[in-house]
Amino acid sequence: MAAPQALQLSSLDNDVIDSEENHVHEPAVDEFDYSQRGQWLRAAVLGANDGLVSVASLMMGVGSVKQDVKAMIIAGFAGLVAGACSMAIGEFVSVCTQRDVEIAQMKREKRKGSSGSGNDEKLPNPSQAALASALAFAVGAVVPLLAAAFIRQRAVRIAVVAAAATVALVVFGVVGALLGGTPVGKSSARVVVGGWMAMGATFGLTKLIGSGHEMQI
């Protein structure tokens, strides 16, 4: 009787050990922390979306009251420069504030004698974030500029800008979802619908005001 009982106990011990080993190794399958990508991903995706939607909406608004392709291109280029500078400055100030808060927290923990002192390498870099935002905005803004540059007819030009912006919005939504580990369909739909709303509102309101007052631009 003692031998079978010992065999049963040994088998149970092995099962417990195997279960614990499987339990330990399970998190390794999906142990990547997507939040580590949060800072640069947020700056890049938001910058590209802002550049695309802002410049496309601006160009469509100008195109609603002006036939000349040059007016649309100049307005779009001005929007690119102004938007990239604005994004860079805003991101720099925002990340500087975040960095100051984290440094202050690290100092408070050190004064309390906490062993979990922060690591300077993990602190956000304001310059990198600002540069990423500016470059991303410019990349997004270039799409409608290139789409409209070689089209003479206004109606076709506006349609091409809207189509190119839609395709780029889908791409940005998919890329952001894949890098962030979020649902692709939901992320893409949100980005596209938001872009359509911005472009439609800008086009409609500008056309209404420009046509109603017969403005000479």
Higher-scoring residue by pLDDT: 40, 31: 40
At 168 the pLDDT is 93
39 pLDDT higher than 50: yes
Mean pLDDT value of segment 76-104: 92
Considering only CA atoms, which of 90, 55, 86, 53 is closest in space to residue 73?
Answer: 55
What band does 143 get if pLDDT is binned at 50, 70 and 90? very high
Is the residue at 184 inside a domain? yes
The structure tokens listed for 103 are 């440094």
Give dist(CA 26, CA 30) in Å, integer. 8
Q: Which pLDDT value is given to residue 108?
A: 87
Q: Is residue 15 part of a domain?
A: no
* Residue percentage of the chain with pLDDT more than 90: 40
Between residues 7 and 59, the one the model is more confident about? 59
pLDDT surpassing 70 at residue 115: no
Q: Is residue 76 part of a domain?
A: yes
Query: Looking at the 3D structure of the chain, how many domains does it have?
Result: 1
Provide the residue range defining the domain that includes 54.
39-111+124-210
In a domain, 215, yes or no: no
Residue 156, in any domain of the structure: yes
What does pLDDT average to over the chain? Answer: 80
Amino acid at 201: A
Which one is predicted more confidently, 162 or 43?
A: 162
Whether the per-residue pLDDT at 3 is higher than 90: the answer is no
Return contacts of 202-205, CB within 8 angstroms, 24+ apart.
202/57, 202/58, 202/60, 202/61, 203/57, 203/60, 203/61, 203/63, 203/64, 203/158, 204/64, 205/61
pLDDT band at 174 (very low <50, low <70, confident <90, very high): confident
Per residue in 98-110, pLDDT tens? 989 988 888 888 8
Question: Measuring CA to CA, how many Å separate 164 from each of 82, 132, 167, 188?
Answer: 22, 23, 5, 15
The span from the CA of 215 to the CA of 146, in Å, is 27
Q: Rounded to an integer, what distance in angstroms lies between the CA atom of residue 73 and that of residue 58?
A: 10
Angle, helices 184-212 vs 154-180, to 10°: value is 150
Residue 217 placed within a domain: no
pLDDT at 23 > cutoff 50? no
Alpha-helical (H) ranges within 112-212 are: 126-148, 154-180, 184-212
pLDDT at 18: 53
Residue 213 or 46, more confident: 46
Burial bucket for residue 207 (CB in 10 Å: 0-12, 13-18, 19+)? middle
pLDDT of residue 129: 82
Coil, strand, or helix at residue 152? coil
Query: Is pLDDT above 50 for 20?
Result: no
Which positions ≥6 away from 116 have C-beta within 8 Å? Answer: 109
Residue keyed to tokens 């949060």: 38
| Mean pLDDT to the nearest integer, 60-73 | 91
Of 214, 157, 216, 187, residue with least CA distance to 34: 187
Q: Is residue 190 part of a domain?
A: yes
130 lies in some domain: yes
Q: What pLDDT shows up at residue 167?
A: 95
Q: How far apart are CA 172 and CA 45, in angstroms?
A: 7
